[in-house]
Structure 1
Amino acid sequence: MVEIAPFAPFFVAAALALLLRGWPRGLLLVLLPLAGLANLWLLGEGSFGTWSVLDFQLLLFRADRLSLLFGYLFHVAALIAIIYSLHVRDTLQQVASLLYAGSALGAVFAGDLLTLFIFWELLALTSVFLVWARRSGRAYMAGLRYFTLHILSGLLLLGGIILHGQAHGSLAFGHMGLEQNGFAGVGSWMIFLAFGIKCAFPFVHNWLTDAYPESTPTGTVFLSAFTTKVAVYALARAYPGTELLVYIGATMACFPIFYAVIENDLRRVLAYSLINQLGFMVVGIGIGTSLAINGAVAHAFNDVIFKGLLFMSMGAVLKMTGRINGSELGGLYKTMPKTTVLCIIGAASISAFPLFSGFVSKSMVMSAAIGNGHDWVWLILLFASAGVFHHAGIKIPYFAFFAHDSGLRAEEPPVNMLLAMSIAAALCLAVGIYPQALYQLLPYETAYTPYDVTHVLTQLQLLFFSALAFVWLNLRRLYPPELPSVNLDVEWLYRRLLPEAARGLVAGVFRLDARLRGAALKGIGYLMETVAGHHKPDGIMARSWLTGSMAAGVVVLLGIYLALGFAA
């Protein structure tokens, strides 16, 4: 059997898409992930594609249960996103999306750090075009900020790889940890930070909430599936059991809730919600037990599907109405009932309702947390679960389709968009009803049972009281209203503070330059006036000088010249 690396079909199809038009291109796009999935299934676990650089042996393809799960996930995500975007007639978006998906596959099957770095950079390069494809000034600036942070991630990764290679004499991509010393320790920290940027760690997360809402309706669906999940895979591969990740993940699960509740742009609400869900995955990787790792990667699988479904439903709203702010929407359930139902399925899944996909993976992480002595982390995750129900489970469908009647009467989106959303909704229900199908693909064997009395009752009570709190706050007019505003968090530092400081510095330099120039011109003018005054009829240069005085002056000048020459 010919061994074909999973990324290769996507790169070849991207080249063919430049030449094809119309239905042949659409057929190619749909068949591609199906053929790729079959190829990956036949490859199974194993490795191939060894190549040498200097004294290092590199590996193009290395598959085990961890990487295979993400490989299957990325093919499914690509299929759904491609079907969703079939109505688009934009070569830039279609080619960039294929290269982007292929780069994600190349990264998760990379057997060494240098190969990982190549696909890591391709992820940044190809994904930014999905932001710029919207062709607006806001999208262009957001894409520049997005690209800058991802280039920083690549530089950190490359520096860490160099130090790691020097310390260990190998570039194999495996467990690293942060406990190493010397150059190895510095390299490991640099790689950890590089992964953290792409995983949207706190303080370096704003590329996600900034760029994703500015992308095209279809581009955002692709973006939500690949970049952050590649980072989750990389952390699970290199840093499982790193306790620092528990605290980072708990922070990620909590802080986006407060921004999502007050945010008006519903796609930005989902971007904050994506960080919230990443927090659960990072906590699981930090705990590092078999159950926790299984829970983290299972939740990554489910998140791609239900978060993709929510982004698709909001993308459909944006396409059909031209609006995405909660303050401008409402009442759409009357003319978009199918989209409304599909959105509610996605909302129920992310909220971890029993019989929906989020329940069978999120509970694994929370069980691992409380089972390993992280009681306060479990409480934080419980609070985060209630928060995500508020901002994604209720706010998104309520303000988009219900709430006040905005007077909008939009039609249902194109059939291909409804089909893609229906596939994602079916997967949300299938995984929630029969989780063993997903559990069989997890990295470790598990006998976990999500549907026991404790898990079900705890989650139902949480959801019930969260819904009750939302209704009470809304009736009392205490719930933050949807206002046409722009909310900044950490990005205020580089979108407001730094530009203002730079403008102030430049203005100060120009003021100092003007003062120095004015003082210099004033001094020159004074000197010119003084010299001119000496040449006036009554000036010193107009006087009659005795010959002896002139001779004495010449002797003095000659003496000074000789003294200087002697000193030199």
Structure 2
Amino acid sequence: MMTPGFLYMTGALLLFLPLNNKTRYLLSILITAGALMVTFSLHPGDRLQLDFLKYTLIPLEVDPISKLTGLVFAVGGVAAVTYSNFISAFGSLRLIFVFIGSALTVVFSGDLFTLYIFWELMTISSSLLIITANDETKRTGYYYFLMHLAGSLCLLWGIFIQYSATGRLSLNAIEAGIPFFIIAIAVKLAFVGFHTWMPLVYSKAPFYVAVVLSIYTTKVGVYVMSVLVPDIHWLAYAGLISALFGIIMALRQTQIRKLLSYSIIIQVGYMIIGISVGTTEGTTGAVFHLVNHILYKTVLFMAAGVVIYTTGKDHLENLGVLGRRLPITSVATWIAFLGIAGVPFFNGYMSKTIIKEAIQEPLLTWGLNVMSFGTCLLFLKFMYYAFFKGRTIPLQKKPTISMQAGLVFLTLMMIVVGIHPTVLENVTSMTVDIHYFDTKHMVSGVQPFLWSIPFFILFKQYFLKDPKRLPYFDIYPIIGNVFVFIGYKLSHYHDGNLNRYWLWATTTLIILWLLMI
């Protein structure tokens, strides 16, 4: 019995061997397939315990939620590695393996120490993946690293407070340090106010890097939230506010990957609401939505990557190649669009239905309807450019077979979940007493989509215009400049005078002692 993430770690080491492209491709596929099989073979209740110094660590603990999350992470790993195999450099592929392995290990972690180590390894590997991609992404990678490092430090401080208060490293009994855990998760979730890294990174990093990040980064945040800080009711309203912000910003975008990035904030809002309502049904719906979101959002990022790869452009108008020159990508995009819109018989419908059933408060119910309506408008804009308004431009090159294979693999998964929504329940013991295809739920699922069509037709001129200046304000560079300025000024006092240093240290100790009295 082993954590499937360790297979990816082993794969990262094996990729240091001098291999040709075909051998590398075969090895990569074998490792991802092996990790998927290992994850599938795990059963709720499986547990691996190790003694480290005076602590008891649990690098592997399986329950229904971690089993389902781990499975979709492993499926996403197969698709992402297949998609990027022949278009990424050796070094990037090794970092992708470390990143995916770390995410899988976080999901199956049974203690705070293990969770923190691999949470931090996710940050390091993904930051290096961005920084080393090319010269243009270095600054973006540093920004991403600093944002996530701040989140990791909050997580570490929360762990210190929790352990000091309880003497336990268990994941399921968080009693102290909750504000620090929430901030750490908020950074990973790209919650409004902590979101600035995501549209920046996803739009500037290589498209295959954006595909991998879109699968794991925010979803790890959702999973850890469901484990560490569930049932905090006010977070449901915070999730609603974050989602509404995502709708407004996404509708204003003209760059493909920025539009998709802000739409992630909307879908994460569904998951936050489901986890925060404090019911088993809500948590189940949130986890199922995590699965569905990985499927359809990854397909959309892959489709955007195909457009960028074949045209060299990253603008909505260049989506026109989907409807005219890329039939496989076009079909996958349509299925993903109907899934994210929550249309019956497509995968997003089932998880949105569960979350709606779990909500009993009118304001949250209204919010979910607005979120569904806004999501439909957003992707009508996407599809309008792809199949009606987009320019027909010549392809510079054709997408690789591996890119199309990754798309097809996830599209088939979406179709299966959409037609047989109980398949996710059958994989684990997470069951919901809902008749998905009764009239009430189907009408509720299709209404936002139907209403959005005439609304989009009437007001599309406001959604399609290219704004000269988008409202954008990022406070974090300002904070960083303030710290640099203060540090520069203080550096003048570090002149090697030992007596001055002793005076500072003694004064600080006296002040701390007075505060403790």
Q: Are positions 1:493 and 2:483 aligned together?
A: no
Partner of 2:264: 274
Corresponding letter in the other structure for 1:379: W
CA distance in 2 between counterparts of 1:327 and 1:80 reads 27
Q: Deviations over 1:307-348 (max 9, x none)?
A: 000000000000111111125553552222322222111111
Q: Are positions 1:12 and 2:2 aligned together?
A: no
Equivalent residues, number: 487
CA distance in 2 between counterparts of 1:234 and 1:222 reads 19
Corresponding letter in the other structure for 1:154: S
Partner of 1:360: 350
TM-score normalised according to structure 1 size: 0.81
Corresponding letter in the other structure for 1:37: L
Partner of 2:466: 482
**8 Å contact from structure 1 (residues 73, 301) kept in 2:** yes
Partner of 1:431: 417
* Deviation of the 1:418 alpha carbon: 1.2
Corresponding letter in the other structure for 2:291: F
CA distance in 2 between counterparts of 1:60 and 1:297 reads 21
Could you say if the C-alpha distance between residues 451 and 329 of structure 1 is closer, same or farther in structure 2, counting changes exceeding 3 Å? closer
**8 Å contact from structure 2 (residues 67, 428) kept in 1:** no
**8 Å contact from structure 1 (residues 85, 416) kept in 2:** yes
Partner of 2:377: 390
Deviates more, 1:410-419 or 1:286-295: 410-419
SS of alignment partner, residue 389 of structure 2:
coil
Partner of 1:468: 454
Q: Are positions 1:347 and 2:330 aligned together?
A: no
Q: Are positions 1:161 and 2:159 aligned together?
A: yes
Corresponding letter in the other structure for 2:8: F
* Deviation of the 1:360 alpha carbon: 0.7
Q: Are positions 1:402 and 2:401 aligned together?
A: no
Q: Deviations over 1:360-401 (max 9, x none)?
A: 1111111211xx3x111111111111111111x212232244
Corresponding letter in the other structure for 1:398: Y
* Deviation of the 1:95 alpha carbon: 0.3
Q: Deviations over 1:177-219 (max 9, x none)?
A: xxx5xxx2xx222122212211122200111121112121211
Gaps of 5+ in 1: 510-568
CA distance in 2 between counterparts of 1:433 and 1:450 reads 10
CA distance in 2 between counterparts of 1:337 and 1:216 reads 23
SS of alignment partner, residue 52 of structure 1:
strand
CA distance in 1 between counterparts of 2:90 and 2:121 reads 18
CA distance in 2 between counterparts of 1:219 and 1:304 reads 15
Q: Deviations over 1:252-278 (max 9, x none)?
A: 221111111111111110000011100
**8 Å contact from structure 2 (residues 274, 355) kept in 1:** yes
CA distance in 2 between counterparts of 1:16 and 1:46 reads 31
**8 Å contact from structure 2 (residues 289, 352) kept in 1:** yes
Q: Are positions 1:375 and 2:362 aligned together?
A: yes
SS of alignment partner, residue 466 of structure 2:
coil
Q: Deviations over 1:85-128 (max 9, x none)?
A: 12225012100110001000111111100110000100101112
Partner of 1:260: 250
Partner of 2:292: 302
**8 Å contact from structure 1 (residues 33, 78) kept in 2:** yes
Q: Are positions 1:193 and 2:175 aligned together?
A: no
* Deviation of the 1:143 alpha carbon: 1.1
CA distance in 2 between counterparts of 1:332 and 1:311 reads 13
CA distance in 2 between counterparts of 1:329 and 1:458 reads 30
Partner of 1:90: 89
Larger-Rg structure: 1
Could you say if the C-alpha distance between residues 136 and 408 of structure 1 is closer, same or farther in structure 2, counting changes exceeding 3 Å? farther
Partner of 2:508: none
SS of alignment partner, residue 146 of structure 1:
helix
**8 Å contact from structure 2 (residues 312, 396) kept in 1:** no
CA distance in 2 between counterparts of 1:94 and 1:482 reads 36
CA distance in 2 between counterparts of 1:133 and 1:488 reads 30
CA distance in 1 between counterparts of 2:322 and 2:40 reads 42
The match for 1:151 among 149, 152, 158 is 149
Could you say if the C-alpha distance between residues 43 and 334 of structure 1 is closer, same or farther in structure 2, counting changes exceeding 3 Å? closer
Partner of 1:174: 172
Corresponding letter in the other structure for 1:204: F
CA distance in 1 between counterparts of 2:421 and 2:30 reads 27
SS of alignment partner, residue 463 of structure 2:
coil
Q: Are positions 1:111 and 2:110 aligned together?
A: yes
Deviates more, 1:268-277 or 1:124-133: 124-133
**8 Å contact from structure 1 (residues 326, 482) kept in 2:** no
Equivalent pairs: percent with the same residue? Answer: 29
CA distance in 2 between counterparts of 1:124 and 1:437 reads 33
**8 Å contact from structure 1 (residues 103, 122) kept in 2:** yes
Corresponding letter in the other structure for 2:230: P
CA distance in 1 between counterparts of 2:482 and 2:70 reads 45
* Deviation of the 1:41 alpha carbon: 2.8
Q: Deviations over 1:489-543 (max 9, x none)?
A: 34x3235x5588799x79xx9xxxxxxxxxxxxxxxxxxxxxxxxxxxxxxxxxx
TM-score normalised according to structure 2 size: 0.89
The match for 2:209 among 219, 222, 226 is 219
Corresponding letter in the other structure for 2:69: F
Gaps of 5+ in 2: 490-517
CA distance in 2 between counterparts of 1:9 and 1:136 reads 31
Deviates more, 1:117-126 or 1:237-246: 237-246
Counterparts of 1:31-50 in structure 2, within 5 Å, are 31-50=30-49
